[in-house]
Structure 1
Amino acid sequence: MEEVQPQWSRETPWRQGHVLCAKARAALELHHTDADATCVVVISHDCDLASDDLHAEPDVEVIIGRVVSAANGNYSWGKAPRTLHLPMQRNGATVTVELVTTSKRLVPKSTLASFEPDGAFALDANGLDVLRSWLSSRYKRAAFPDAFVRRMDKTGVSKRLAKKLEPRGALISFVYFNLDGGQVLERPDGEPYELSIVLVHPPGDDPEASAEAADDLAEDVKEDCEAKLADKKQIIVKSCIAISEDDLPVSRARTLTHWRLEHMTLRADGNHPGPIST
């Protein structure tokens, strides 16, 4: 008797953040160049996954990622729009999964219907929120004045800020800039930008310890930036403060602009996430 192939239905077990099992990866020929570390994560929205109209929604979007040995702080919490280091549980232990936007693929629901998600992996609510925020960030990034971005690069402040955050980046969930009080101006040479930096941190299990560590980092960042910006005609760093997510009101957040450490994903060196193969 011919075996009946499972059909995609609204009762599908697949959800955003689920991981494909090894058999599903093999059937769909989804492999990272770091083959043994391959981790393919579903990124389609749950509503799209629930649709059983395969003419309107025939595919599931995934990212071919990999498990890495340690998280890079600049890729944690969605700070970089092209690369995410996402903590997940694998057989009860925390692992870091690296996802790169250029590694997105579409897989047919008709094929994926034959498989169940890999039960060894689990993504908690906070991790799912980070994943969703990171996925959307590519389309809602704030634009800074070109002159300001050039000065940040020319003075090396962008790289210094990233290097300061990298070893302790998991401590900081967001980096906000208040530039010229919210104005977007293309300032001429010799007319400095006034910059205030806000480092937002999750309270964690020990809010006092988290706040103290974030305050120390903020002071370190300000001193380092000021040292790089000895020429006060470029950028003036007015302040760098740390604030808990619990203490940042929406009204205040709306006056700030999210700064993403994009250059870290563009540099052409050996630390750049590798390509994938299919």
Structure 2
Amino acid sequence: MNSTQKFDREKAVEFGWNQCSVFNYDSSPELFKLLPPHLQNEANFYIVLSHPCSLLNYSLELEPDLEVATATPVAKADGNCTFGKNPRKLHLEIEQLALVVEVEQKNRLVIPRGEIASCAPLVATLTASTSRALITWTVNRYLSSAFPDEFERRISNKKTQLRKVFNSEVGQKCKAVYVVINESIKDLPDDESYELHIYFTLNRQNYALYDDEAEDTPDGFNSFLKRLTDLFEKINGTRLLSVNFQDDSKLTVAQVESPKLIKWNFDFLSIAAETPIERV
């Protein structure tokens, strides 16, 4: 569709397109054809990231593009990749399809927008909570904080064990990880330690379960904290001063925006060159 043509907004609205609409080969073959060949897979799903104001704008000249994330089905969610804990990879559920999918930052792309007026999505939109998680994860790609290279080096030899802790049943319930660290920028010399306080956020329901749990419950919340504490004791050059759970509904804006409280994107991949959004 040529950008000088008027976009049929009413038809797109009638079809149900919105931010976080989901389409695939069967529902939207014309859109599927616009995807780059290496991302065309009839088993995949594609989630619209574009804001509704851009998605349904009358002018294709002003807003020619549809931003899309490729979603690949996976057998089950990895706790290291839920709730935006990994800045490069997100696992979420398309509840309407009873599917868990994996979305990667490197597989975001833009395609011409006009064809959404000629076909309907498979799913009109993700649930509100899942949509919020996806958009927040996308935005946080540009807002996330990095720790000193020396800190990352010191914890790198325990990455397998740390992954196991984060992928436990309790780890998958954690929505975010926040750290207060004594030095968040500089690489410390070998004779100085990074001192940390770590806070895991839980939703209100899971925090209540933690609050009511007996301290010796096998594989419970307290066991999770102890495993992490024991693990950090084995990491040279770090001192874990405290580790706790926090009810995320009790976090204030001031706390979240405080420069002292750093969101830890629990990602053990080395920092590589940024991958641009692919344009076709």
Give the TM interval when normalised to the shorter protein.
0.7 to 0.9
Relative to structure 1, is the Cα distance of residues 149 and 117 closer, same or farther in structure 2, using a 3 angstrom cutoff?
same
Please give the secondary structure, in 1, of the residue aligned with 2:146: coil
1:45 aligned onto 2:51 = yes
Distance apart, 1:170 and its partner CA: 2.0
Tell me the residue number matched to 1:129: 132
**Structure 2 partner of 1:191:** 192
Residues of 1 paired with 2:189 and 2:127: CA distance?
47
Identity of aligned residues (%): 27
Mind listing any 5+ residue stretches in structure 2 that lack a counterpart? 214-219, 273-279
Aligned partner (choices 220, 224, 233) of residue 217 of structure 1? 224
Aligned pair in 2 of structure 1 residues 48, 105: CA closer, same or farther (>3 Å)? Answer: same
Pairwise CA RMSD: 2.8
Shift of 1:221: 1.0
Between the aligned partners of 1:125 and 1:26, the Cα distance in structure 2 is: 26
Aligned residues: 253
Corresponding position of 1:175: 177
2:236 matches 1:236: no
Matches within 5 A, 1:258-269: 258-263=263-268
Q: What residue is the counterpart of 1:74 in the other structure?
A: 80
Task: Indicate how the Cα distance of structure 1 residues 216 and 63 shifts in structure 2: closer, same or farther if over 3 A, else same.
Answer: same
Task: Give, in angstroms, the shift of residue 184 of structure 1.
Answer: 3.2
- Correspondence for 2:103: 99
**Cα separation, partners in 2 of 1:131 and 1:265, compared to 1, 3 Å:** farther
Which residue number corresponds to residue 149 of structure 2? 146
TM-score scaled by length of structure 2: 0.80
Q: Aligned pair in 2 of structure 1 residues 100, 183: CA closer, same or farther (>3 Å)?
A: closer
2-structure distance, mates of 1:210, 1:36: 42
Once the two structures are TM-superposed, the CA of residue 248 in structure 1 deviates from its matched residue by 2.7
Residues 1:251 and 2:258 are matched in the alignment: no
More displaced 10-residue stretch of structure 1: 165-174 or 5-14: 5-14
> In the TM superposition, what is the alpha-carbon distance from 1:183 to its structure 2 partner?
5.2
Judge which range, 237-246 or 251-260, deviates more: 251-260
8 Å contact 1:171–1:214 — kept in the other structure? Answer: no
Contact 1:15-1:49 at 8 Å conserved across structures: yes
| Cα shift at 1:122 | 4.7
Is 1:118–2:122 an aligned residue pair?
yes
Residue 245 of structure 1 deviates from its aligned partner by 0.8
CA distance in 2, matches of 1:191, 1:150: 14
Question: What amino acid sits opposite 2:116 in the alignment?
Answer: L
* Distance change in 2, residues 1:161/1:192 (3 Å): same
- Runs (4 or more) in structure 1 with deviation over 6 Å come to 31-34
- When residues 24 and 6 of structure 1 are mapped into structure 2, their CA distance, relative to the original with a 3 A threshold, is farther
Select between 7-16 and 25-34 the one with higher mean Cα deviation.
25-34
| TM-score, normalisation: structure 1 | 0.80
How far apart are residue 17 of structure 1 and its match? 0.9
C-alpha distance in structure 2 between counterparts of 1:249 and 1:43, whole Å = 28
Instruction: Tell me the residue number matched to 1:270.
Output: none
- Asked if 1:89 corresponds to 2:95, the answer is yes
3-state SS of paired residue (1:106): strand
Q: 2:275 is matched with which residue?
A: none
C-alpha deviations, 1:151-184, integer Å up to 9, x for none? 222xx2444322211123321000111101x653
Provide the secondary structure at the position in 1 that maps to 2:188. Answer: coil
